[in-house]
Amino acid sequence: MPFLKLYRLATHALTPLAGPLLNWRVTQGREDPARLDERFGVATRERPPGRLIWMHGASLGETLALLPLVERFIQRGAEVLVTSGTVASAQLLCARLPAGAFHQYMPLDAPAFVDRFLDYWRPAIAIFAESELWPNMVAALRARGVPLVLANARVSRQSAERWGRFPGAARKIFGAVDLCLAQDADNAARFIGLGAPYVRVGGNLKYDVPPPPADPAALSAFKGAIGARPVWAAVSTHDGEDEQILDAHAEIAQQVPALLTVIVPRHRERGAEIATLAQARGLSVALRSRDGDPRPDVAVYVADTVGELGLIFRSVGIVFMGKSLAAGGGQNPIEPAKLGCAVLHGPSVDNFLEVYAALGAAKAAARVNDARALARAVHYLLSDPKRMRRMGRAGAEVVEKLGGASRGIIDAVEPYIAQVAIEGR
């Protein structure tokens, strides 16, 4: 039996289990209990009149990358529905979406939920970030004649190889994409190989995302709590990295006793676990969610809250980007670079090779291979504030020069929206 037919039959048969699955995810903190209906395709707000632009990103990074497009569509008088699949992305989007845009959760990819969602929202066009393609949703959009665009499109070599094991299914799914705007030439080649019929290099939207905001009062209080202490941050850390961050802190603190290390885990629910690791090393630790701003006696500060990266990046001069000391592919360094932070990273940055290469070439970022190298790099920059500031300025200049993808993507998408207008959708 063909893979996609089997997938459709399986998702239809498993639909009755969606409720128990989502309730279990609520207990894990991975779903919003107040908005579970949205995961079944049930709208929790009224549809605005007229043509509706639908934009979707899987999680936090993908949806944030869509913000420049959201702004540009709203400037053209459109209403914009933005969907995502994670609690963290929903919380941040609800705080950062401009007037004229609103958030709903993406329904689970079961035929009944997909049909209910599309029957209600009736989007004029669907614009998905990166390569977030669910088979039932793609088929339903195709059946309704809704143009499907991949913006900021990216598919890793490993993912492309996995899709390659099912060439028929890949051609069906990627062949249903009306326009694929890849981040770069390498990604464009992979999408062509998977069967996307119309592929262009559109650039990386993440360069156009405005820096994360910070509440002025909270920022003032946070900086006041830090005072003149030397401080650095490890951001978006993952399992296996926090121990290395703490080892680096201990080594630096031998020469810089007043050091404050800020750890921002990628998944905030890991905050208590990181605090336990720090306490086991005899370090004084505080959680932002529990203890507020850092006290003078705190050595390790775990920022386990959502939507406060703008505060962190504006309060430190050095940022280590996580998911890079382990074999994870790295995290996006554009936001700290935009806000003038010197960037450090581990050897695993395959997910963001272009931006790390550009930052490295401008001497705005430096690679460290282990905890000892990280400690040396942080200590060196703390001891040479002029060097740290030069790195920060260079990074801000690099990401500014690389921006502009949103303008090109809007130009590429507008003919599809115009065609929808002609057809009277």
Pairing type for strands 231-237 and 199-201 reads unpaired
User: What mean pLDDT do residues 320-338 have?
Assistant: 92
pLDDT, one tens digit per residue, over 270-284 is 999 999 999 999 999
pLDDT, one tens digit per residue, over 274-316 is 999 999 999 999 999 999 999 999 999 999 998 899 999 999 9
CB-based burial of residue 10 (10 Å sphere; 0-12 exposed, 13-18 middle, 19+ buried)?
exposed
Is residue 357 predicted with pLDDT exceeding 60? yes
Is residue 36 predicted with pLDDT exceeding 80? yes
User: What mean pLDDT do residues 142-165 have?
Assistant: 92
- Check residue 307 and give its pLDDT: 85
Q: Please, what is the average pLDDT of the chain? A: 93
pLDDT, one tens digit per residue, over 364-410 is 999 999 999 999 999 999 999 999 999 999 999 999 999 888 888 88
- Check residue 22 and give its pLDDT: 95
Q: Give yes or no for a contact between 159 and 153, defined as CB atoms under 8 angstroms apart.
A: no
Q: How far apart are CA 110 and CA 8, in angstroms?
A: 8
Torsion of CA 408, 334, 272, 315, to 10 degrees: -130
62, 130, 241, 335: which is the annotated catalytic residue? Answer: 62
- Check residue 1 and give its pLDDT: 52
Indicate if 62 belongs to the active site: yes
Helix and strand totals (H; E) in the chain: 21, 14
- Check residue 416 and give its pLDDT: 78
Is residue 353 predicted with pLDDT exceeding 90? no
Find the radius of gyration of the CA atoms of the chain.
22
User: What mean pLDDT do residues 169-174 have?
Assistant: 94
Q: CB within 8 A of 231, min separation 6: which ones? A: 259, 260, 261, 262, 315, 316, 317
- Check residue 409 and give its pLDDT: 87
Is residue 419 predicted with pLDDT exceeding 70? no
- Check residue 77 and give its pLDDT: 85
C-alpha 384, offset from chain centre: 32
Q: Which of 276, 283, 233, 279 is nearest to 254 (CA)?
A: 283
**pLDDT band at 424, cuts 50/70/90?**
very low
pLDDT > 90: percent of the chain? 76
Give the type of residue at 174: F
Q: What angle do CA 232, 238, 244 make, to 5 degrees?
A: 55
Q: What is the pTM for the complete model shown?
A: 0.78
**pLDDT band at 132, cuts 50/70/90?**
confident
- Check residue 392 and give its pLDDT: 97
Is residue 60 predicted with pLDDT exceeding 90? no
- Check residue 423 and give its pLDDT: 52
Q: Which of 218, 277, 391, 269 is nearest to 261 (CA)?
A: 277
Between 379 and 417, residue with greater pLDDT: 379
**pLDDT band at 46, cuts 50/70/90?**
very high
pLDDT, one tens digit per residue, over 189-232 is 999 999 999 999 998 888 998 899 999 999 999 999 999 999 99
